[in-house]
C-alpha cells in the first residue's frame, strides 16, 4: 500500500527531470523529479542508472537520492557500470547521413530500440527491428551487417553480466 501512495504522490510532481552528478567515485541521482518510487531492482530504475552512468561516467557506488537515500554498490553497481559501458560503445558515434538517420535499419535506430526496452526484451527488440531486413544499396548491406554484429556483442555482453550476477548470489 505504501508503494501505491508514493506512486500517486509522484504523479502530481512536475517532471522537471532527474538531476544526476558524479562526486568522486559516487554517482548521485536525485529521484525527486521522477514520478516513480525508487526501487533499484525495477526496470525503470535500472534503465535510469545505466543512462546516468553513460552520461556521467563510471562509479563504484550509486546513491538514489530521496527522502531516504538508497545506495547501490558492490556487484550491483559493477553490473550497472558494465552495462553502461556496453551501451556507450554500442551507440553510434559518427553522424550518419540524413538518409541513414531515417532508415529503420540504421545502427542508431536499432540500438535506440534495444536501449528503450532495456532491461527486458532489449536484444529481442533490436532483432525485431532488423527482421526481414532488405537493404536498398550495398553500403546499406554493410551497415546492417555491422549492426547485426554489434547486436550480437550487446547480447553476449548482457548475458555475461547477468550470468556473473547469478554467480555472486
Integer Cα distance of 8 and 2 in angstroms: 10
Question: What is the pTM for the complete model shown?
Answer: 0.78
**Is residue 5 domain-resident?**
no
Least confident of 14-18, 37-41, 77-81, 83-87: 14-18
Which pLDDT does position 48 carry in this prediction?
A: 93
**Is residue 36 domain-resident?**
yes
pLDDT at 105 over 80: yes
**Is residue 22 domain-resident?**
yes
**Is residue 7 domain-resident?**
no
Integer Cα distance of 50 and 27 in angstroms: 11
Q: Do 102 and 61 share a structural domain?
A: no
Which pLDDT does position 97 carry in this prediction?
A: 64
- Domain with 83, as residue range(s), is 13-87
**Is residue 112 domain-resident?**
yes
66-94 residue pLDDT tens: 888 999 999 999 999 999 999 999 886 56
First to last CA, the chain: 29
Q: Do 141 and 79 share a structural domain?
A: no
**Is residue 98 domain-resident?**
yes
Amino acid at each position: 500500500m505504501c508503494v501505491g501512495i508514493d506512486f500517486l504522490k509522484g504523479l502530481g510532481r512536475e517532471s522537471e527531470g532527474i538531476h544526476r552528478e558524479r562526486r568522486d567515485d559516487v554517482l548521485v541521482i536525485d529521484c525527486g523529479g521522477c514520478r516513480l518510487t525508487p526501487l533499484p531492482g525495477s526496470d525503470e530504475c535500472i534503465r535510469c542508472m545505466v543512462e546516468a552512468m553513460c552520461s556521467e561516467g563510471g562509479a563504484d557506488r550509486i546513491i538514489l537520492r530521496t527522502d531516504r537515500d538508497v545506495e547501490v554498490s558492490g556487484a550491483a553497481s559493477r553490473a550497472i557500470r558494465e552495462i553502461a559501458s556496453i551501451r556507450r560503445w554500442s551507440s553510434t558515434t559518427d553522424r550518419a547521413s540524413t538518409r541513414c538517420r531515417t532508415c529503420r535499419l540504421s545502427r542508431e535506430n536499432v540500438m535506440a530500440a534495444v536501449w528503450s526496452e532495456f532491461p527486458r526484451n532489449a536484444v529481442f527488440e533490436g532483432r525485431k527491428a532488423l527482421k526481414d531486413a532488405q537493404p536498398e544499396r550495398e553500403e546499406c548491406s554493410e551497415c546492417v551487417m555491422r549492426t547485426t554484429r554489434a547486436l550480437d556483442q550487446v547480447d553476449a555482453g548482457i548475458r555475461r553480466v547477468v550470468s556473473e550476477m547469478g554467480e555472486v548470489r
